[in-house]
Each structure stands twice: as C-alpha cells, then as structure tokens.
Amino acid sequence: MATLPRPWSHVATALVFLPVAAPPIALGAGLHVVALQLGVAGSWSGVWLAHCVPAVGYATLVLTGVLATRDARDEEAACTLGATRVQRWRYVLLPQLRGALTEAAAVAFLVSWAQVALTLLVGGGAVRALPIEVLALVRAGQETDAAVGALLLVLPAMVALSALRRGAARP
C-alpha cells in the first residue's frame, strides 16, 4: 500500500481501515455470517479469524506509515550487487523492519485482546475467553474472582505496552 500510486493507496488504506472504523457490532455480525459459511462459528479458530480482521487493520496501518517513510537505497544497493528479491527481503528489508514488525504485532495483540463483542458474536457463547469470564464474574457478583481476572487481563497488555515503549526508545 505504501508504494501504490496516489489514488490506489488511498483506496487500499480505506479498505484496510474499514474494519477499524466500523462499529464492533456491525463488524461482528458480518464476521459471524462469514464464520457460519466457513463452518468455524462457535470455535476458537473462528474467533481467532474474527480477531485478525481488526488486528490486521491496525497492524497494516502501523506498517504502512513505516514503509512510506523508509529509505529504499539499501535495497537498491543490494539489487545492484546482485541480490535476488528474496535475499533483499531477508537480509535488507526484514532487519530494517524488525522493530516496526514487533510494534505492529504488539498493537495487533492489544486490539485482539480487547475484542469482547467479536468473541461473543463469533464464538456464540461456546468460546470462553478471559474477558468473557471476567464479564460473567462481574455479572454474577463475584467481585474477588472478577478482580483477579481483571488483573490477569491487564498483565499481557502491560507486557505488550512495555515492549512498545522499549521499541520506541531505541534509536
């Protein structure tokens, strides 16, 4: 998307951003229909695929910004020296993008971690993820267990945010 000509880059960005901007209920209803057609509704694989839609949208937006501003001279130099496309990707582009890929993965995880509506809609109540369990504990009035669950929900998010902070502090 970062290297597409002007009108097409805007169209591609809008398509990637659509699942991010759409209301979660509308997105979940559409993904539920797709999961039913694929035969994965009510399963962990269906929930995982549903979570990938907004997560990949955010990760793509993070990576598009990085790719749009990166300097391609190293890749051109490798090409001049006879590197194949795979070699340029493996030895030039991937090392340059390692930090951005880590940040995009952390953002994608954080987006997925918070998807209660998608888990309920696509999982159909059969998939019991930690956010769903915490919600059930709160509704049942089990404050102590809900508090422990909420702390468990916060820990992976804190680790992901810490990784983002460390990545941003590197030159």
In this structure, is the dihedral angle defined by the CA atoms of residues 146, 141, 116 and 121, taken in order, positive or negative? positive
The confidence score (pLDDT) of residue 47 equals 93
Domains along the chain with CATH numbers: 6-169 (1.10.3720.10)
pLDDT in tens, 66-89: 887 888 888 889 888 998 989 988
Instruction: Give dist(CA 30, CA 25) in Å, integer.
Output: 9
Tell me, rounded to whole angstroms, the distance of Cα 37 from its chain centroid.
23
The confidence score (pLDDT) of residue 171 equals 53
The confidence score (pLDDT) of residue 144 equals 93
DSSP string, 81-130: TT--HHHHIIIIIHHHHHHHHHHHHHHHHHHHHT-HHHHHHHHTTS---H
pTM of the model: 0.78
The confidence score (pLDDT) of residue 36 equals 93
In this structure, is the dihedral angle defined by the CA atoms of residues 74, 75, 80 and 86, taken in order, positive or negative? positive
C-alpha angle 82/85/90, rounded to 5°? 100
Please count the other Cβ atoms lying within 10 Å of the Cβ belonging to residue 76: 12
C-alpha angle 65/68/69, rounded to 5°? 90
Residue spans of the chain under pLDDT 70: 2-3, 167-171
The confidence score (pLDDT) of residue 35 equals 93
The confidence score (pLDDT) of residue 141 equals 92
Structure tokens at 76: 């051109």
The confidence score (pLDDT) of residue 44 equals 93
